[in-house]
Amino acid sequence: MRKSLLYFAVIIVGIIFISRLFYLQVYSSNTYDIFEDNAIRKVFTYPKRGYIYDRNEKLLVSNQPSYDVMIIPRNVKDFDTLEFCKLLKIDKDFLIKRYNRTKKYSPRIPQVFLAHLSKEDYGYLAEKIRKFEGFYIQKRNLRDYNTNIGANVLGYIAEVNNSIIEKDAYYSMGDLIGKQGVEISYEEELRGIKGIKFIQKDRFNRDIGSFKNGDLDIVPIAGKDLTITIDSDLQKYGELLMNGKKGGIVAIDPTNGEILSLISAPSYNPNLLIGRNRSKNYMKLYNDSIYKPLVDKSLLNMHAPGSPFKILVGLSALQEGAISEKTTIFCDNYYQYGKEKRKMRCHCGGGYRNLNNAISLSCNSYFANAYRKTIDNKSSTKESFNKWSEQMKSFGLGKYLNNDLSVGKKGIIPDFEFYDNWYPDFKWGATTTLSNAIGQGEVLVTPIQLANMTAVIANKGFYYTPHIIKKIEGSTIESKFNTRKYSLIDSVHYDPIINGLSEVYKTGTAKFLQVPGIEICGKTGTSENFTKIDGKKTQLTDHSIFIAFAPKDNPTIAISVLVENGYYGSRWAGRIASLMIEKYIKGEVTLKKMEKLVIEKSLANEYEKPFLNKPFKINQ
């Protein structure tokens, strides 16, 4: 035993050690994964974000580098403050304030000390930053806007927030993501795929060089360039015309559903949302509760369609046989209906009205009659009303367009159940809902829906989903944008309506809006609207609405214009529509006087009225 004790001890310890090694290295060790290795820092490398071009291949959005001075307060050592301030063009108070603030926030976490250095300042500082321990320069990619229009269409990018990081594994803290417009709709195409660089760390978490000379690094994949359907000249012109006015303009190419312009007024210069003053500017825009420049009114502003809706009422009546092309009524400047002999006023001037001049003069009585006959000509209101509702919806109203714009509203096309919930106690009928006939009832639409409806009429019965994308570098656009969606109205019924719309420009409500050389079909609209002032429902000046398409044969543009509180349709919306059409079709505008009038008109006094705390008059 005395001789063998040490032999045993040595062998047993050897066995224990090898077993322990087996346990540590083979049994409990997973296969080596570089992502799990915390000795290797994984740094994302960001690809170029895709550029955005307009339909004429004009570059709208590109990228620019931006340099932030970062600070890790804990690592800051004594340094030459005078030189530092001079390099950054800041004063000493700012330096001290900033330093204390970052240190209070966290001494360890890297924070932005000064954002968005100019290229020139960066050049000087880059050489000397080594002297200032605890500071370093971080490069970021910012958008570079070659234009100051179309902010609502183009959108902007900003740092991704936590809720997205939690939902989408692709994003991590500090990544940039599209926040509005095309930037958000085509985020995946634009962003590309970020790469990864592996960096060897030491135990103090310092980088000591690239891992295996970067052999394992994952190269980022560049974002794709986009061409959008917007005609930037037309967009710019539309924004100019909307100067001083609230509202939206949507112009669509009816032959393919491409959105030629999508104007929300007032908008903002997209350059405001990049660079050093981004958050200040953003808050200013965000807090503007009168004009709400961050809200895309062409997509989100729901309003009563007004008279343009009569077109659909007429089409439905034709389809259902409630009226024919030749149906004539006599207008008494009002339309009397119901047991109480209620009257709906009409401004057409009175007299015999057929379909053609009922449209051109926007006769309320004619369409009230047509609507009544449509709804009441079947045995059950439910059946006829729901059919009518489906027909309206087939124009893209009362439902989401399901397109590639980041926001949208459904609007309202009421159906039988809608009113049945309202009037559970009695049998309601056409007269109960008669204001729908003139686009003034429960129907609500957005400007883009109106434009799309106009495109259906221009196409005599179908539309392509309005979309903003024209071309994606290296891939094709979704097929849903190339398929026709048909309305529930037979195409034969469109001709008399289109003739009526043409008549609007010749002899009707828009006769003074004619554009030489272009036969335009259009329809004016005036939409009553209300707001709440101190809890009291108060009527405001009517919205000025206009829809149009041109030329009459083979239309190339369908447009809807909404000028909030602009009063009657032809006053502002009609003028803007005519100017836009001329601009698009001719490339230049000859109606200089009208153009000047529109551009110079500001409706600021209208928009201020509800906020002045005193009684006001409307529709002046």
Partner 1 sequence: MIGDRRNAFKVDKVLVVLYILLVGFGWGNILSSSVTGEIGSLLNINELYGKQLVFILLSSVLILIVLSIEAKFYERFASIFYILSIISLIGLFIFGKTVNGSTSWYGIGSFTIQPSEFAKVATSLAIAKFISDLQTNIKLVNHQLKLLVIIFLPALLIILQNDTGSTLVYFAFFFVLFREGVPKIYLYTIGLLFLLVVSTIKLSLITTICISFIIIFINFFRKRKKRNSLIKHFGVIIFCTIFSFSVNYFFDNIIKQHQKNRISLWLKLENNPEEIEKMKRTILYNLNESEKAISSGGWTGKGYLEGTRTIGKFVPEQQTDYIFSTVGEEWGFLGSSFIIVLFVLLLLRILYLSELQKNQFSRVYGYSVVSIIFFHFLINIGMVMGLVPTIGIPLPFFSYGGSSLWAFTLLLFIFIKLDSNKLNEW
Q: Which stretch binds partner 1 (CB under 8 A): 20-28, 478-486, 535-543, 555-563?
A: 20-28
Which of 63, 200, 256, 435 touches partner 1 by CB under 8 A? 200
Told to check if 494 binds partner 1 by CB under 8 A, we report no
Is the backbone of residue 213 left (phi > 0), alpha (psi -120 to 50) or beta? left
Two structure tokens written together for 321: 């046989």
CB 178 within 8 A of CB 108: no
Q: How far is the CB of 39 from partner 1 (least distance, A)?
A: 4
Q: Is residue 611 at the binding interface for partner 1, with CB under 8 A as the rule?
A: no
Binding mask 205-244 vs partner 1 (x if CB under 8 A, - otherwise)? ---xx-xx--------------------------------
Stretch that binds partner 1, among 5-13, 54-62, 465-473, 555-563 (CB under 8 A): 5-13
Binding segment for partner 1 (CB under 8 A), chosen from 154-162, 204-212, 341-349, 553-561, is 204-212
At residue 504's C-alpha, the angle toward residues 499 and 507, to 5°, is 105
Of 6, 82, 169, 173, the residue at the interface with partner 1 (CB under 8 A) is 6
Assess contact for 29 and 37: CB atoms under 8 A: no
Which CB sits closer to partner 1, 11 or 109?
11
Q: Is 409 in the site for partner 1 (CB under 8 A)?
A: no
Cβ closest to partner 1, residue 36 vs residue 600:
36
Q: What is the enclosing helix (H) or strand (E) of 513?
A: none
Distance CA 22, CA 14 (A): 12
Q: Which stretch binds partner 1 (CB under 8 A): 25-33, 138-146, 148-156, 408-416?
A: 25-33
* CA–CA separation, 363 and 356 (whole Å): 10
Largest Cα separation within the chain, whole Å, is: 133
Indicate the residue among 21 and 407 with the shorter CB distance to partner 1: 21
Among candidates 584, 583, 605, which has minimal Cα distance to 594?
583
Q: What are phi and psi of 69, to 5 degrees?
A: -85, 120
528 interacts with partner 1 by CB under 8 A: no
Return the number of the residue (21 or 96) whose C-beta is nearest partner 1.
21
- Tell me if 524 sits within 8 A of 362, measured CB to CB: yes
Number of residues that bind partner 1 (CB under 8 A): 34
CA 151 to each of CA 181, 293, 494: distance values in angstroms, whole numbers, following the listed order: 8, 10, 36
> According to CB under 8 A, which one of 9, 216, 221, 604 is a site residue for partner 1?
9
- Burial track 265-282 (b if 16+ CB lie within 10 A, e otherwise): bbbbebbbbbeeebeebb
Q: Report the C-alpha gap between 97 and 95 in whole angstroms.
A: 6
Query: Nearer Cβ to partner 1, position 119 or 212?
Result: 212
Among 13, 43, 216, 290, binds partner 1 (CB under 8 A): 13
Q: How far apart are CA 463 and CA 118, in angstroms?
A: 48
User: Which of 208, 597 has the CB closer to partner 1?
Assistant: 208
Minimum Å gap between C-beta 40 and partner 1 is: 6
- Which residue lies nearer to partner 1 by CB, 14 or 349? 14
Per-residue contact flags (x/-) with partner 1 for residues 308 to 327, judged by CB under 8 A: --------------------
Nearest to partner 1 of 8, 530 (CB atom): 8
Chain centroid offset of residue 332 CA? 44
Map tokens 């009291």 to a residue. 536
Minimum CB distance to partner 1 smaller for 200 or for 435: 200
In this structure, what token pair is assigned to residue 124? Answer: 């000087």
Check: CB of residue 215 under 8 Å from CB of residue 38.
no
Written in H, E and C, the secondary structure of 554-601 is: CCCEEEEEEECCCCCCHHHHHHHHHHHHHHHHHCCCCCHHHHHHHHHC
CB of 212 to partner 1, least distance (A): 8
Write the interaction track for partner 1 spanning residues 27-56; mark x where CB under 8 A is met and - where it is not.
-xx-xx----x-xx----------------
Alpha helices in 394-519 (DSSP H): 416-422, 447-458, 494-506
Q: Please state the closest distance from residue 108 (CB atom) to partner 1, in A.
A: 14
**Is the Cβ of residue 77 or residue 203 nearer to partner 1 in the bound state?**
203
What's the rounded Cα separation, in Å, for the pair 472 and 227? 6
| Sole binder of partner 1 in the list 202, 340, 553, 588 (CB under 8 A) | 202
- Does residue 8 touch partner 1 according to CB under 8 A? no
Determine contact, residues 249/263, Cβ cutoff 8 Å. yes
Q: Which among 110, 114, 127, 126 is positioned nearest to 74, based on CA atoms?
A: 110
Place of tokens 């990228």: 63
CB of 18 to partner 1, least distance (A): 5
Binding segment toward partner 1, per CB under 8 A, in 22-30, 95-103, 376-384, 455-463? 22-30
Task: Confirm or reject binding of residue 169 to partner 1 (CB under 8 A).
Answer: no
Residue 528, CA distances (Å) to 5, 361, 508, 540 in order: 106, 18, 21, 7
CA–CA distance, 313 with 308 (Å, rounded to integer)? 9
164 vs 216 by CB, closer to partner 1: 216
**Cβ 20 to partner 1 shortest distance, Å:** 5
Q: Which is nearer to partner 1, 214 or 349 (CB)?
A: 214
Which of 278, 292, 369 is CA-nearest to residue 329?
369
- Decide if residue 5 touches partner 1 (CB under 8 A): yes
Nearer to partner 1, 211 or 546 (CB): 211
Interface residues with partner 1 (CB under 8 A) are: 2-3, 5-7, 9-11, 13-14, 16-18, 20-22, 24-26, 28-29, 31-32, 37, 39-40, 200-203, 208-209, 211-212
